[in-house]
Structure 1
């Protein structure tokens, strides 16, 4: 498995990876979690995908997308500021060239039928490390995200605890919350050390995609 970053200049060169990511998001957010999301055929695509985000993708040896995250600058529209501002509580939405938003983080849990549990941990920890590596490469200081209490626990176990903006809120079937995380070499070291402690074999550092 390897972890790559795909920015808007790469989209047309790697349509298979982009489509694979949207299909993975459909399976996770529509089929498994039953979220009320925008779909097109068997792909989950929303308005934020039109804003030229960078995608962090975990790719297996067969070139299938097994995990993903979407990154957007907070100086433009974000899910936190424009879709879920209630999760901010009394705090203003972050707007900074040094802060980005991560959304649509997911891993293909259907791999559990054919891959050991460590394979899923590999993708989760590698994606978290990839987000941090990308942020460090762009001189970012923090990342904000909208998530749920389940993933908040995963972040804590990964050594990258989330600092909440406000208490969780029930949104449909999800106990949702928002918060921010530091982007630092220390946070990256913690995630990698915790991944190794949990038996994960983390992918090499995040790279740009190579042509097929």
Structure 2
């Protein structure tokens, strides 16, 4: 298993992986977490998938998608501006050219390979490392995200703590929180699992 980055220009060539990603999102967000998301034909897709994002995917040797995240420039349009519009209005969030938004992060931690007793799953750590590696390569130093308080604790356990923006709030049946994450070499080294392979290898080497 390793992580890959799929740029907007590459979407058409890997539709099987992108479709598998939307199915994973449906299984995790609706099936496991019971989030208030729209699922059609077993797939979770929203309006921000139409804004040419980069996707970070964790892919097994059998081309199973077991982790995903969506990255868009924080200057917009973004999910943050939809779910947390007051943060910009109150000057708590100041999007800039070196900030990227991460959204729709999820992993399938039921995969036995990579599970170490008492620690975070390798898929989770691989996804964290890949997001940081890609962000640094693209000139982003900050990552803004909205998540739930449970996942905020996972970030802290991984050594990648999130700096909260504003107070937690209820979004549907989720206690959500917005925050900033650093994208730099020290963050990358803290979260990188031992067998991590660089994101910037050919997609055909994903196995």
TM-score scaled by length of structure 2: 0.90
Contact 1:88/1:166 (8 A) holds in 2: no
Give structure 2 stretches of 5+ with no counterpart.
none
- Residues 185 and 175 from structure 1, CA distance in 2 versus in 1: closer, same or farther, beyond 3 angstroms? same
Aligned to 1:198: none
Question: Hey, which bits of structure 1, 4+ residues long, moved more than 6 A?
Answer: none
Larger mean CA deviation between 80-89 and 101-110 belongs to 80-89
Contact residue 25 and residue 104 of structure 1 kept, 8 A = yes
Structure 2 residue 116 is matched with structure 1 residue 118: yes
Report the alpha carbon displacement of residue 153 of structure 1 after superposing the two structures with TM.
0.7
Asked whether the 8 Å contact 2:36–2:173 carries over to 1, the reply is no
Distance in 1 of aligned mates of 2:195 and 2:104: 20
1:106 corresponding residue in structure 2: 106
Q: Aligned residue for 1:50?
A: 50
Structure 1 unpaired stretches of 5+:
196-200
SS in 1 for 2:127: helix
Q: In structure 1, what is the equivalent of residue 172 of structure 2?
A: 172
Give 1:88 deviation, angstroms. Answer: 6.4
1:26 Cα deviation (Å)?
Answer: 0.3
Answer whether contact 1:70 1:102 (CA < 8 A) is retained.
yes
Question: RMSD over aligned Cα, in angstroms?
Answer: 2.1
In structure 2, the CA distance between the partners of 1:211 and 1:187, relative to structure 1 (3 Å rule), is closer
Is contact 1:89-1:166 (8 Å) kept?
Answer: no
Task: Return closer, same or farther for 1:202/1:80 CA change in 2, 3 Å cut-off.
Answer: farther
Contact 2:22 2:44 in 1 (8 A): yes
Asked whether the equivalents of residues 89 and 165 of structure 1 are also in contact (C-alpha less than 8 Å), the reply is no
What is the CA–CA distance in structure 2 between the aligned matches of 1:48 and 1:188, rounded to whole Å? 26
SS at structure 2 position matched to 1:61: coil
Structure having the higher helix fraction is 1
Give the Å deviation of 1:40: 2.2
2:199 maps to which of 163, 182, 206: 206
Note closer, same or farther for the CA distance 1:34–1:88 as it changes in structure 2 (3 Å cut).
farther
Distance 1:152 1:92 in 2: 19
Is residue 87–residue 177 contact of structure 1 (8 Å, CA) maintained in 2? no
Any conservation in 1 of the 2:21–2:68 contact (CA below 8 Å)?
yes
* Aligned residue in 2 for 1:133: 133
